[in-house]
Copies of this chain bind each other. A is one copy, B any other.
């Protein structure tokens, strides 16, 4: 990946960016926002910078800048794509928009994609042959905004709205006209950020004028009846068009359901929501749009599309404002989707210099490492153990699930909800095995000791070790047990994760001790005990305080894109900026995988 150095004067700040990055986004990557109101679309002309030396002139430059300005070296930073080392002078930013802290301590400037533009339309006269669309386009252009009026929705809206009055307020989502309202309409703008997970769907309605959440709701993905993981869902969709449509409708119903619930929570109507930003893994976004996803399940694992999309929500079947937009963030590959792009954005991983590891633990584990100016991401097929599936008493992280385990003289368990335990979820499983390791009841290779061996070693928990149908097991509480096979399942799951992390660290030349931070993302990540993660070797060995929970980073990233076009542009840059590693293409994968099933040795422990 070719990179070029960009220097911004007068601050002298520099950055090295991949070939093709815009000067505008490159500045934002290093926290040096350049003025803009049009969202980097080349229509407001405010983002001009003065290039030291030569630079190409783009069509937008010709349109927005005078010949004198061009001769002096002024260019729009949003359309200038860096193709060599570049030095430019940046005018001082005059506006100070509102900002909010989001994601992992990220300051997000409140500049949503949805804007409200007050306009005074010049009246039609017989001497002025302009049509309604032109009059509106020119009025918007005078304010620095573009208008895409090539669709029937816009053509049908414009004449009715621009005739009744000369003072109107245009509501734009990017360059799409969502509404034309009377000038005196109060500035109320809402958007919704949706994280369409394979298991759980979360919607957050955001007030785009304040940056605050107005309502939130979550629910299980209604596709669950077609299978718990993406592979089984793709398998169902492969049976035919009707099945693909079933999955599409289930995804739509899930998204619509949480949006409607979040709206009810916020006491808002669908018509008040102008934009939905949806993130999810590549399979979820394919199925949401009714796009064949079967190649995601087959080598060489290429999705149908990875680009960001800007669609009519109504055409996609989603009910928000009738002319509202449905925006999807880009994906890096078949198994590192828009959710991870959003997560990388929310954690600032690719824009900060520290050496950091981002991990989203799940059936499909995704991880990304940043080191200096390079960032790389991959995914690993961990399998269902982390979701509690294929585990003897495994269950989802719901009421009744053991989510934490501590072993001392006795077994202590923490159960979700005020109910009796009736299973163990992923974080409980990690805790249990970690504690069994630390108690000397599971060996470095995953072998569970027998009750007899435990008694010989003087373990107070020896009577918890049982045999069931010829298999060893550990009784947690009541009838709930953890079997030898469960330990093996966890070993397999964590081994996949470990191979992925190691591959990324090797690619970027990162050693475990270099890692300044490990971020565990996703609702599951939040519940993993960092000490247990270290004990089973789910993460590289680092001081425990370097492990932090990143929360629902995907959802946070979606909200950030909703609130700030600058963040959205960064998200759009990520596929160019982040190296995507396909793990299955890696030579020696199987050997590495087998080696990685081993647990970290404890101090003084002999490898057996």
Chain A residues in the interface with B (C-beta under 8 A): 56-59, 62, 124-135, 149-152, 155-156, 158-160, 163, 289-295, 299-307, 309-311, 315-316, 333, 580, 582, 584-585
Q: Are the C-beta atoms of B57 and A132 separated by less than 8 Å?
A: no
Nearest CB of B to A2, in Å:
16
* CA–CA, A294 and B333, complex, Å: 50
Q: Are B159 and A304 in contact (CB under 8 A)?
A: yes
Instruction: Indicate if the CB atoms of A127 and B585 lie closer than 8 Å.
Output: yes
- One of B62, B302, B310 near A130 (C-beta < 8 A): B302
Bound-state Cα–Cα, A151 to B311, Å: 7
Question: A300 and B125: CB pair below 8 A?
Answer: yes
**Contacts of A304 on B, CB cut-off 8 Å?**
131-133, 155, 158-159
Complex contact A300–B126 (CB within 8 A):
yes
Please give, as numbers and ranges, the residues of chain B lying within 8 Å of A124 by CB-CB distance: 295, 300, 302
Contact B291 A129 (CB under 8 A): no
Which residues of B lie under 8 Å from residue A125 when comparing CB positions? 300
In the bound complex, do residue A163 and residue B300 qualify as a contact, i.e. CB atoms below 8 Å apart?
no
Q: Please, which residues of chain B bring their CB within 8 A of the CB of A306? A: 131, 133-134
Residues A291 and B56 in contact in the complex (CB < 8 Å), given A131-B302, A299-B126: no
- B62 pairs with A289, CB closer than 8 A: no
A247 to chain B, nearest CB (A): 13
Chain B residues in 8 Å Cβ range of A582: 126-127, 129
What are the residues of chain B within 8 A of A134 when measuring CB–CB?
306
Shortest A588–chain B CB gap in Å is 14
A294: B residues at CB distance < 8 A: 159, 163
- Kindly report which residue of chain B lies nearest to residue A244, judged by CB atoms: B156
A160 / chain B contacts, CB cutoff of 8 Å: 292
A303: chain B residues within 8 A (beta carbon): 131-132
- Measured between alpha carbons, how far is A293 from B131 in the docked complex, in Å? 11
Report the Cα distance A291→B132, complex, angstroms. Answer: 11
B333 adjacent to A129 (CB under 8 Å): yes
Complex Cα distance A128/B582, Å? Answer: 10
Q: Are B159 and A291 in contact (CB under 8 A)?
A: yes
Known contacts A126-B301, A302-B130, A305-B131; is-contact A290 B156 (Cβ 8 Å): yes
**Given known A-B contacts A292-B159, A304-B159, A316 and B132 have beta carbons under 8 A apart:** no
Contacts of A300 in B (CB 8 A): 124-126, 128
Instruction: Identify 27 residue pairs between A and B in the complex whose beta-carbon atoms are under 8 Å apart, listed by A's number.
Output: A57-B57, A58-B62, A124-B295, A126-B301, A126-B582, A126-B584, A127-B585, A128-B302, A129-B333, A129-B582, A130-B302, A131-B302, A131-B306, A132-B304, A135-B302, A149-B305, A149-B307, A152-B311, A152-B315, A152-B316, A155-B291, A155-B304, A155-B309, A158-B305, A159-B292, A159-B293, A159-B294
Q: Which of B57, B155, B310 contacts A305 (CB 8 A)?
A: B155
Interface hub of A57, A152, A302 (most chain B Cβ within 10 A): A302
Report whether A580 and B299 are in contact in the complex, using a CB–CB cutoff of 8 Å: no
Question: Closest residue to A582 on the B side, CB-wise?
Answer: B126
Q: How far is the CB of A181 from chain B (nearest CB, A)?
A: 17
When C-beta atoms are compared, the residue in chain B nearest to A58 turns out to be B59
Contacts of A289 in B (CB 8 A): 152, 155-156
The 3 closest A-B pairs by CB, nearest first: A159-B304, A126-B585, A126-B300
A62 and B299 CA atoms in complex are apart in Å by 36
Known: A126-B299, A135-B302. 14 other contacts (CB 8 A): A59-B59, A124-B302, A125-B300, A129-B302, A129-B582, A131-B305, A131-B307, A152-B289, A152-B311, A155-B289, A155-B304, A156-B289, A159-B292, A159-B304
Smallest Cβ distance from A604 to chain B, in angstroms? 42
